[in-house]
Amino acid sequence: MRLSVIIPVYNEKATIEKLVHAVHSVEMAKEIIVVDDGSNDGTRELLGALSIDGMKRCFHRENRGKGAAIRTGLQEVTGDIVIIQDGDLEYNPQEYHRLVEPIVEGKAAVVYGSRLLGLPPRKKVRYHFYYPFALGVKLLNLMTRLLYGQRVTDEATCYKVFRTDVIQNINLK
């Protein structure tokens, strides 16, 4: 199975080169689709100068939002599985194998990463410093559970992985 990694970016000059190299170093068949959403900090120029095998670049003239960048990236996808990767290095691309495994094994059509599972207690995200954020995440998780009957521990996570046919059949707005 081939992975398509969509990386929506806006003003990520400080991290995008390191991130693209990290994604490229993951040992699996993949394509990298970077969508610059109207950056004005030099990200666009840096992306233009990067020479990475299997990387496609798309550029929005003006900032249209992450959703628009993802929709643009989806138009370029040729892989069997799609993963959304933020450009800020918050998430480690070396986790891709774990994230795609349930899809490859036919156990899931969609996988959400979680910033809360699998970490020792002292390393878990410390939401108590960001009470409104923590409350929002808990409410999103609860709504997802009530509306869709799915157990989600971190609905607000960036890491969302889909079978390509599933995400391309969602009317994203």
Tell me the pLDDT tens digit for each residue of 72-86.
999 999 999 999 998
The 3-state DSSP class for residue 133 equals helix
- Judgement on whether residues 21 and 80 belong to the same structural domain of the protein: yes
Nearest partner of 20 among 2, 11, 32, judged by Cα = 32
| Structural domain boundaries, residue 15 | 3-113+157-168
Neighbours of 122 (CB within 10 A): 6
- Judgement on whether residues 121 and 42 belong to the same structural domain of the protein: no
- Judgement on whether residues 39 and 91 belong to the same structural domain of the protein: yes
- Judgement on whether residues 45 and 61 belong to the same structural domain of the protein: yes
For the chain, the domain total comes to: 2
- Judgement on whether residues 83 and 132 belong to the same structural domain of the protein: no
What is the tally of helices (H) and strands (E) in the chain?
A: 6, 6
Q: What is the pLDDT of residue 33?
A: 98
- Judgement on whether residues 95 and 106 belong to the same structural domain of the protein: yes
- Any domain includes 173: no
Q: What is the pLDDT of residue 123?
A: 46
- Judgement on whether residues 90 and 127 belong to the same structural domain of the protein: no
Nearest partner of 57 among 23, 30, 22, 33, judged by Cα = 33
- Judgement on whether residues 96 and 57 belong to the same structural domain of the protein: yes
- Judgement on whether residues 42 and 53 belong to the same structural domain of the protein: yes
Q: What is the pLDDT of residues 92-137, one digit of tens each?
A: 899 899 999 999 999 999 887 665 555 444 444 454 445 565 666 6
Report d(CA 55, CA 147) in Å as an integer: 37
The 3-state DSSP class for residue 117 equals coil
- Any domain includes 14: yes
- Any domain includes 128: yes
Nearest partner of 9 among 61, 44, 49, judged by Cα = 44
Looking at per-residue pLDDT, the higher value among 28 and 154 belongs to 28
Report d(CA 149, CA 152) in Å as an integer: 9
